[in-house]
Structure 1
Amino acid sequence: MNLFAQESVDLVTLDLMLPEYNGLDIMQLIRRDNMLPILIMSAKDSDVDKALGLGFGADDYICKPSR
């Protein structure tokens, strides 16, 4: 998370399904030290996924459109 110490960041756009990491874990790391707005954009569109994302600290949750 050194990026936040080196750069000026105004907004974080985060996907939950990352290749090597869980997006919710990344969000918790960000929230530990920063109150930046976090917008989740994810293909996961269930109400449970939305509730988890918002409950873990996201400011908003947007579902990616299906093809």
Structure 2
Amino acid sequence: MLKGKFRVEKWIAIDRYVLLVYYTTARCYQFSIIDEQGKAFDFELICYSADAALREGRAAIETALEM
């Protein structure tokens, strides 16, 4: 769960998921994925650009779709 202040950089719907890319001053750029049931998955991966976090988030969704 997101805690503290953050700024949403990108909010994108991909298939049955929502990908949220955000910036926190403590953790640089990160992403979360929300599934079709509304469950949020937070990732501890730290990225140094919004585009990098977007790429990693898309890859995570692609992996989930292959399952």
Which of the pair is proportionally richer in helix?
1
TM-score bracket, normalised by the shorter chain, equals under 0.3
Q: Which has the larger radius of gyration?
A: 1
TM-score by length of 2: 0.26
Which of the pair is proportionally richer in strand?
2
